[in-house]
Amino acid sequence: MLAALGSAASWSLGAVLFKGLGESLSSFAMTLVKGGVSVFLLGALTLLTGGYANIGGEAYLYLILSGILGIALSDTFFFSALKEVSPQTITLLFTFGQVVTVLLAVLLLGETLPLQGWGGIALIITGITIGMFPGFAEKGQSSLRGIVFGLISILLMSFSVILTKKGLAEVSTLYATFLRMLAGTLGMLLVGIATRRLGGWVTPFRDPRLMTRFTLSVCVITFGGFWLAIVAFKYTSVAVANSLISTEPIFVLPVAALLLKEKVTVHAVAGAVIATVGVIVLCTGGSGI
């Protein structure tokens, strides 16, 4: 559970850090280079800790598909959304994604959810609605296209989580994270080669200052967001892990205010509080999952 909370905090910080970088970089470039840096870091750490293992073909298939959906595709839409929505909106969108993942876990993995858990989901959806509604009217804050990109991203990520859970039975969390990241990065590399845009994507990263800032941001996302989330999925149910990871709103509001000097609206605070209460209700109601 601590891993899930740590992942939530890391995703919130990462979203704010990448928002500043994303204004000058293409979403495809960010996804590819982020993946490349992550593969290097995860591969080196896996090698040092002896985390590599021979696993079954089915596990490889699940983790590879998970990486393509959750990293190559989902992250590309995520970075595109970051350019057109506020940190509060993108985080509330991802909170909705946690609800979708819980529903998929019930339908596809056979996890059960008691009545109190469904009450928690209702509270989370209410909080999301309250937090997002002003975003449609705020100029320069959240565009409709950005919100659509965010929705596509979280739906892809939700299916990716289910596939990850299926592939975790016989593999370490570090190696699983490495495999997912490798698959997603190779997918983006092939797209770049096929469209002959690879050179244009990587050119901006020749700036040492930009690459340093980007690498620091990637470290937060890779070891905080991705790895800790995989740890949570391995050692608890998808429903409980996602409930805790969706506490992102309570972390992102102070981070956005401090680092980006963005105005935190009353609606955003109210939505985050209600959504977080829903998470608590869902988690305690789903403790027997």
| Rounded Cα distance, 285 and 275, in Å | 15
Three-class SS state of 30: helix
| Rounded Cα distance, 232 and 219, in Å | 18
Cα angle vertex 105, ends 101, 107, to 5°? Answer: 115
Q: Which of 57-61, 98-102, 275-279 has the highest mean pLDDT?
A: 57-61
| Rounded Cα distance, 21 and 170, in Å | 37
| Rounded Cα distance, 14 and 32, in Å | 16
Residue type, 56: G
Q: What does the pLDDT read at residue 186?
A: 92
The answer to whether the CB of 72 falls within 8 A of the CB of 31 is yes
pLDDT over 50 (residue 49): yes
| Rounded Cα distance, 237 and 170, in Å | 16
Token pair recorded at residue 137: 């009217």
**HSE-CB for 274 with a 13 A CA cutoff:** 21
Residue type, 98: Q
Instruction: Tell me 171's DSSP state.
Output: S
What is the maximal distance between C-alpha atoms in the chain? 54
For 231-257, how does the pLDDT look when each residue is reduced to its tens digit (9 = 90+)?
A: 888 887 787 777 677 666 667 767 666
For 149-205, how does the pLDDT look when each residue is reduced to its tens digit (9 = 90+)?
A: 889 998 998 999 899 988 887 788 888 889 999 999 998 898 888 888 888 888 888
> Which residues fall within 8 angstroms of residue 46, CB to CB, at 6 or more apart?
52, 174, 175, 178
Q: What does the pLDDT read at residue 287?
A: 47
Q: Return the closest-CA partner of residue 67 out of 186, 180, 158.
A: 180
User: According to DSSP H, which parts of 109-246 are helical?
Assistant: 115-132, 144-167, 173-194, 198-202, 208-219, 228-235, 238-245
Q: Which is it for the CA torsion 23, 25, 31, 37, positive or negative?
A: negative
Token pair recorded at residue 127: 């909080």
The answer to whether the CB of 150 falls within 8 A of the CB of 85 is yes
Confidence grade of residue 134 (pLDDT, cut at 50, 70, 90): low
Q: Supply the angle between the helices 266-285 and 115-132 in degrees, to the nearest 10.
A: 170
Averaged pLDDT, 220-237: 83
Averaged pLDDT, 54-80: 85
The answer to whether the CB of 111 falls within 8 A of the CB of 238 is yes
- Determine the distance from the C-alpha atom of residue 264 to the mean position of all C-alpha atoms in its chain, rounded to a whole number: 22
| Rounded Cα distance, 85 and 83, in Å | 6
Q: What does the pLDDT read at residue 288?
A: 44
